[in-house]
Amino acid sequence: MSYDFDLLVIGAGSGGVRCARIAASHGARVAIAESRHWGGTCVNLGCVPKKLMVQASEYGDMVDDSHGFGWTSTRGTHDWGKLMTAKDREITRLNGIYVSMLEKAGITLLTGHARFVDGHTVRIEPSPLAPDEAPRTITAERIVIATGSTPVKPDIPGAELAITSDEAFHLPQRPERVVIIGSGYIGLEFAGIFAGLGSKVDLVYRRDLPLRGFDEEMRSAMAEAIDARGITQHRHACSTAIAKEGADLVVTLDNGQHLHTDCVFMATGRRPKIDALGLENTAITTADNGRIKVDMNSETAQPGVYAIGDVTDRINLTPVAIAEGHNLADRLFGKGPARQWCYATTPKAVFFSPPLATVGLTEEEAARNGVVDIYFTRFTPMRHTLTGRTRKTVMKLVVDQKSQKVVGVHILGDDAPEMLQGVAIAVTAELTKVDFDRTIGIHPTSAEELVTMRTRTRETPKAEG
């Protein structure tokens, strides 16, 4: 049977674009369908605009810190509208780059919403990106679903009064008071953004510490950093209702508290964006959490249909989606071996101020495998020795005692993500503590602490069970 294309990618986010470009480089006839934004969530409503806003939120502190070094500048006021305009201009530029890259690769761009007719047939219908496009039906031998995810709100009274990260990037003005529900990546990052720009921030979450799933010791250090940022934490609390009272929004918590605010920001998770794809017309199955089930080769239960990125129940990070897309295209159309990587050593970063970066196992995870040696340090980085600021950098090495492999590295502090990227190579390469010890540091830097922690802080026994 002949098809219009060898490969159709649904979703022009980071993973989908990489998959399409690599497949085209191998000679495949490729089309890519996008219904909303070229570049997907990361470029338009995620990583890129968020990082720009994080950086904007840090300049005020930099001005204050400069006083300790002899500067006499004053902080002044922040122009939210100017930031939004500059951010939008950069996003528009990146949108154009994505379109240009795809066109130069010889890929057919389909603007519209894709919906499965069967396992090889998709109907492209009008969408916000192309409301006047006429519907069309196309066929492809192989199809990749890379439609990403979208924010979710809890089902509570007044939830419609709250915003999510999607709306936060387009607020007409900065709210003076913000209540953020949730303490994962998104909740913490926006808490830091708003606090840094001058808003009063209340952070509400259900557990005793933020960032569930991260190393416990680093979670505690992050909680201290949140306090130091001037953010009020409401632990062991859930929002039960939101109501409008005059000019205020009022958030009711299950502990009886009522928080008056100008803005309620829900950072309570994301779900795969697959509801309108017509999956019922295929054999594709989903897990209990709604994410598409795939095998180790990213193939769904429908032969010839694959899924990558946030629609699957793997690690939902942009670089992972890119790696999955690259690997899949190599396997389907390449002549050599496909690029491989390890999910277990995927580095992560939380762009708070200060940021947290981590790679490999937490102390708790490593202890399930055997006895663990912990190397831990907390110090004042040189940039703060003259500022009067008490901000500390925290570093932790998790070492398997038997093999002496460094199986986890965790850093909380200025430039932590930049430091960790190189260390991720070491952890992926399964280097040992001896390898770290025989590496010469660069002085004076914070990063040199990673190779100068000679004395073990403690031994953690193997966890029972």
Q: Which domains does the chain have, with CATH numbers?
A: 5-46+82-150+271-341 (3.50.50.60), 159-268 (3.50.50.60), 347-454 (3.30.390.30)
Which residues define the annotated binding site for FAD? 51, 147-149, 310
Q: How many residues does the chain have?
A: 465
Tokens of 67: 């006083």
| pLDDT at res. 451 | 98
Which residues define the annotated binding site for NAD(+)? 182-189, 269
Q: Which of the following is catalytic: 67, 120, 384, 443? A: 443
DSSP structure class, residue 293: P
Strands (E), 303-347: 305-307
CA–CA distance, 388 with 443 (Å, rounded to integer) = 22
| pLDDT at res. 112 | 95
Tokens of 402: 């038997």
Neighbours of 74 (CB within 10 A): 8
CA–CA distance, 96 with 377 (Å, rounded to integer) = 45
Residue of 87, 18, 5, 85 lying closest to 49 (CA atoms): 87
443 part of the active site: yes
341 burial type by CB count under 10 A (0-12 exposed, 13-18 middle, 19+ buried)? middle
Instruction: For residue range 114-131, list pLDDT tens digits in order.
Output: 999 999 999 999 988 888
The strand order across the sheet containing 372-379 reads 348-350, 356-360, 406-412, 393-400, 372-379, 458-460
Burial 38-59 (b: 16+ CB within 10 A, else e): bbbbbbbbbbbbbebbbebbbe
| pLDDT at res. 432 | 99
Which residues define the annotated binding site? 51, 147-149, 182-189, 269, 310
Task: Please say whether the beta carbons of 395 and 377 come within 8 A.
Answer: yes
CA–CA distance, 359 with 413 (Å, rounded to integer) = 15
Tokens of 445: 């830097």
CA–CA distance, 211 with 219 (Å, rounded to integer) = 6
Residue of 100, 96, 98, 130 lying closest to 113 (CA atoms): 130
| pLDDT at res. 132 | 86
Up-side HSE of residue 427: CA atoms within 13 Å toward CB?
A: 26
Q: What is the pTM of this model?
A: 0.96
Residue of 41, 29, 10, 5 lying closest to 284 (CA atoms): 10
| pLDDT at res. 337 | 80
Q: Residues in the chain with pLDDT < 50?
A: none
